[in-house]
């Protein structure tokens, strides 16, 4: 998955996070700033200003790199911060993909991309309501980083005069749909393993006993 590349760009992360660390900006504020950039980028998508949309859609995930580094440097890591950052990521996804709904000719592709992305993202947390699990990487395509790269590539080509954005949205919908099926299959495997090990959540065990 493309997200695995994230661990190899530590230098860029340190450079981007340095001003925020020096100013002692709260990491949650950095996360929100990423959402603000995504919303501004969404506005430019609606205006079909592909260059500015690309710029702000680049800034949004940059903040996703920065907030964790700031939290570590300022010793402000917390479970709430981890949850908050993840939720902001979902809002950023929605802002990016949802913005294309307002572009003529891209409504269907955007809705499909949004819908299958939502289904895919729900597969993992739903398992946590059944079994005791962790935040391991799941073997599936259509992750947050995968979709982000496709959106940025689509905007870059559009800025160069090659507007294939709608086809990239369909591609995001397809890989998200495939990823949903992959996650369901993996979830089934985890649940079966948990049943054998007795690692189901307590309320699930009680329900089975009844």
The per-residue pLDDT for 41 is 98
CATH of residue 94: 1.20.120.1760
Boundaries of domain holding 175: 2-209
Q: Tens place of pLDDT for every residue, the chain, 210 residues?
A: 444 455 556 777 888 888 888 988 899 999 999 999 999 999 999 999 999 999 999 999 999 888 888 888 888 888 888 889 889 999 999 999 999 999 999 999 999 999 999 998 888 888 888 877 777 777 888 888 899 999 999 999 999 999 999 999 999 999 999 999 999 999 999 888 888 877 677 766 555 544
Q: Cα(97)–Cα(151) distance, rounded to whole angstroms?
A: 8
Q: What residues have CB less than 8 Å from 1, skipping those under 6 apart?
A: 137, 140, 141, 143, 145, 146
Q: Which helix (H) or strand (E) holds 201?
A: none
User: Hey, which residues does 131 pair with through a beta bridge?
Assistant: 200
Alpha helices by DSSP H, 8-136: 10-22, 27-46, 50-73, 79-99, 107-127
Number of independent structural domains in the chain: 1
The per-residue pLDDT for 204 is 65
């Amino acid at each position: 998955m493309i997200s695995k590349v994230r661990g190899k760009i530590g230098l860029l992360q340190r450079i981007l996070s340095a001003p925020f660390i020096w100013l002692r900006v709260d990491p949650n504020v950095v996360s929100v700033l990423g959402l603000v950039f995504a919303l501004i980028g969404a506005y430019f998508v609606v205006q079909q200003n592909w260059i500015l949309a690309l710029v702000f859609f680049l800034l949004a995930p940059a903040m996703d790199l920065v907030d964790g580094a700031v939290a570590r440097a300022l010793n402000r890591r917390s479970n709430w911060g981890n949850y908050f950052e993840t939720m902001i990521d979902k809002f950023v996804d929605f802002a990016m993909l949802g913005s294309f709904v307002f572009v003529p000719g891209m409504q269907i592709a955007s809705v499909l991309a949004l819908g299958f992305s939502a289904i895919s993202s729900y597969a993992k947390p739903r398992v946590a309501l059944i079994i005791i699990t962790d935040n391991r990487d799941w073997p599936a395509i259509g992750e947050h980083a995968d979709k982000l790269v496709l959106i940025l590539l689509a905007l870059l080509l559009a800025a160069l005069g090659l507007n294939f954005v709608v086809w990239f949205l369909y591609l995001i919908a397809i890989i998200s749909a495939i990823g949903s099926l992959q996650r369901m299959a993996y979830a089934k495997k985890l649940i079966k393993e948990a049943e054998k090990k007795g690692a189901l959540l307590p309320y699930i065990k009680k329900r089975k006993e009844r």
